[in-house]
Chain A
Amino acid sequence: MAKVLDNPRPTAKERLAKIGEQMQGSQAWNSIFRPGSIFRKGYTDSPRNRSYVIMNSVLYHLHPVKVKRHAVKVSYTLCLGGLSFFLFILLTVTGIFLMFFYRPTGANAWEDIQMLQTSVTFGLLVRNMHRWGAHLMVLSVFLHMARVFYHGAYKPPREFNWVIGVILLTLTLLLSFTGYLLPWDQLALWAVTVGTNMMGYSPLVGNQVRFVLLGGVEIGSETLLRWYVLHVIMFPFIIIIFMAIHFWRVRKDGGISGPL
């Protein structure tokens, strides 16, 4: 017993603290976290640290350090813009999962979805989440637009952000519509047939646009490949650019509108 007291070994807690200290002093750590990051200096609640959480992290790209008091009231935005964005992220994550199991050809598509549902772990659940999430996003973007309108939030200086918004709405519908074809079942085929027939009525270029989109006169395997590319790469790419402009403008236009 006495021997142990003579030569006290560091406790696990002390050793952990030492490792923590060494880690935080290392060059690697300091290269990862910017000066002023709360991961460098630790966080104790103070107005300055509250500012640092935003200012010294990537969050600064999305949020200013301070926002109007009324802007954080859920009853004003109903979180709808933010939820549209969040749903987009959820759809990206679940969509990437689905891509691992799906081939966009007339011969494979439907069977791949069938396989996904029956033999892939969580396949059915993830497909459900992707599908219901997509419908939910269309809904939340619609509702976001309505809330912006009823608050008069499109008035100067926010006119142009409303225009960006209309583009986002269109892109959301296009994303949803191109995804609708991909399961390649009777629902997909004929819903898209009805939808694209409407397009053929546009004057002058209607039929040409339809031809390019379908990759032919009628829907077929070529259409499936085209819509797949549009759905998984092109429209997401474009919508991200417009979302970036949208969020940037929310800040540059003086933060969120209101109070009423």
Chain B
Amino acid sequence: MTEIPEHLLKRAQAARDKAAGGDAGGAAGGDRIPGDLLDRTKAASDGAAAVVATAPVGGGVPVGAGPGGHTQRLLTVVKSGSIQEAKAAPVDKVHTWPHLLAVEFVAALACTAFLFVFSWVVNAPLLQAADFNKTPNPSKAPWYFLGLQELLTMFHPMIAGVTLPGMGLVALILAPYLDRNASNKPEDRKFMTSMMTMFLMFWAVLTIIGSFFRGPGFNFTFPWRDGIFFEL
């Protein structure tokens, strides 16, 4: 049996007493506004005198300052949805702790474990020291740029290196503003999802060709015939 600390018991008792007192007032009012709120409203409507009375005397605190000496107050009616996109209807929610934090913790742990084991087994490459006079053949960009390098073999550098990637980036930024369809149901978005899938496939295929199917001179090879020319 766990023991409840004494100060908590005391606090609970005090709260219960207060609630009992407040209930009487609430019942009289015939509604469900808690007693302490009603009290506060009454105190406020007693006029400015009450406010001044609560302000600490002297000490350079301006007349009308709040109980903590605050000189600013937020008094505004916040309509739901005006600051925060909140649904007016109640949403089915769970506590962040423990539900979300536990998931995050496990994910972080699994990620660390994976990275740790992988790094234990596989070493990062470190080739010969940089030498300006020895150009390796082939010379390849990091893998995430190999799609671009692959484009360079097909188009003028101006188009492959600037126009196409630039257009891709702009299209990506503008996607939310161009897609006027408000639904997020997959069955309503067949056009957009197929566009994106094609876009991603296009890049994936280019990157794979650039990574594994390009050998000396960036010429086409088959990895199973000539080996892999790829470093991470």
Contact = CB atoms under 8 A, between A and B. Distances in A.
Interface string A143-154: 000100111111
B107 interface: yes
Contact of A173 (B95, B111, B144): B144
Interface in B103-137: 103-104, 107-108, 111-112, 115-116, 118-120, 122-132, 134-136
A66 B95 contact: yes
Interface stretch (B17-25, B168-176, B220-228): B168-176
Cβ-closest 9 pairs across A and B = A152-B184, A128-B119, A159-B176, A254-B85, A131-B124, A189-B130, A53-B97, A66-B93, A110-B129
Contacts of B148: 198
Interface in B139-155: 139-145, 148-149, 152
Interface stretch (B31-39, B47-55, B157-165): B157-165
Contact of A90 (B103, B112, B196): B112
A82 interface: yes
Contact of B182 (A70, A71, A156, A183): A156
A63 interface: yes
Contact of A154 (B116, B161, B169, B176): B176
A259 to B, nearest CB: 9
Interface of B: 2, 5, 8, 83-87, 91-101, 103-104, 107-108, 111-112, 115-116, 118-120, 122-132, 134-136, 139-145, 148-149, 152, 157-158, 161-162, 169, 172-173, 175-177, 179, 181-186, 189, 192-193, 196, 200, 231-232
Contacts of A74: 103, 107
Contacts of A166: 169, 172-173
A216 interface: no
10 contacts: A41-B8, A67-B93, A128-B120, A128-B122, A149-B193, A150-B193, A152-B189, A154-B175, A155-B184, A258-B184
Contacts of B192: 152
Interface string A225-260: 000000000000000000000000000111001101
A201 interface: yes
Contacts of A202: 161-162
Contacts of A201: 157-158, 161-162
Given A128-B124, A194-B141, A50 B115 contact: no
A117 interface: yes
Interface string A78-101: 010011001100100000000000
A191 B141 contact: yes
B142 A191 contact: yes
Given A149-B175, A163-B176, A177 B142 contact: yes
A124 B107 CA distance: 25
Given A79-B107, A173-B144, A252-B84, 4 more contacts: A47-B95, A79-B103, A128-B120, A260-B185
Nearest to A44: B2
Nearest to A257: B184
B231 A163 contact: no
Interface string A89-119: 0100000000000000010001101100100
Given A155-B182, A254-B84, A150 B231 contact: no
A190 B136 contact: yes
B171 to A, nearest CB: 10
A257 B177 CA distance: 17
Contacts of A184: 129-130
Contacts of A44: 2
